[in-house]
């Protein structure tokens, strides 16, 4: 995986195992784990908001959020003006989220993809640059 990035990561109970494995795969990066710290039932906004705040403030380069479907964490994170959180369930979506939408948080649907695919998605997401150009005009219109 990419090295030298500052990454905020969080998950609810459905994403706990994937989060732990992604943290291991992110060796060489500065990773802050915002929880949850077990597979006991937990509410996804409790982890999505701190990750989003960390990315929005510039303390972290990127965020990774994991829940069962990816929807709950994405909805929570996208409430923050500086956040563009994208649910990605394949490599092409991860690449496009970065290259076309300048997404800064990737949301992984743990109940719908394998951990191997989740690792590939995160790798592509973290290593893809924003293309800018015509996409920059569109991205600049996202915030309310």
Provide the residue-wise pLDDT of the chain in tens; the chain has 144 residues: 678 999 999 999 999 999 999 999 999 999 999 999 999 999 999 999 999 999 999 999 999 999 999 999 999 999 999 999 999 999 999 999 999 999 999 999 999 999 999 999 999 999 999 999 999 999 999 988
Dist. CA 95–CA 97, nearest whole Å: 6
Q: Is 107 exposed, middle or buried (0-12, 13-18, 19+ CB in 10 A)?
A: buried
Tokens 């569109």 correspond to 138
Position 14 scores a pLDDT of: 98
Position 123 scores a pLDDT of: 98
Dist. CA 93–CA 70, nearest whole Å: 13
Reading the block at residue 143, the tokens are 């915030």
Reading the block at residue 15, the tokens are 């994403």
Domains, the chain, with CATH or none: 6-139 (3.40.1400.10)
Dist. CA 105–CA 77, nearest whole Å: 8
Position 62 scores a pLDDT of: 98
Q: Among all residues, which ones are annotated catalytic? A: 67, 100
**∠ CA 21-6-99, rounded to 5°:** 90
Dist. CA 130–CA 114, nearest whole Å: 26
pTM: 0.97
């Amino acid at each position: 995986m990419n090295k030298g990035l500052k990454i905020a990561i969080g998950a609810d109970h459905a994403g706990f195992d994937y989060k732990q494995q992604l943290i291991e795969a992110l060796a060489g990066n500065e990773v802050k784990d915002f929880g949850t710290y077990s597979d006991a039932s937990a509410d996804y906004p409790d982890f999505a908001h701190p990750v989003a705040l960390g990315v929005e403030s510039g303390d972290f380069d990127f965020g990774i959020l994991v829940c069962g479907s990816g929807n709950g964490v994405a909805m929570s994170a996208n409430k923050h003006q500086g956040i563009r959180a994208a649910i990605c369930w394949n490599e092409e979506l991860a690449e496009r989220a970065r290259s076309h939408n300048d997404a800064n948080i990737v949301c992984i649907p743990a109940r719908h993809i394998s951990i191997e695919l989740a690792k590939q998605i995160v790798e592509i997401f973290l290593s893809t640059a924003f293309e800018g150009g015509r996409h920059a005009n569109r991205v600049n219109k996202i915030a309310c």
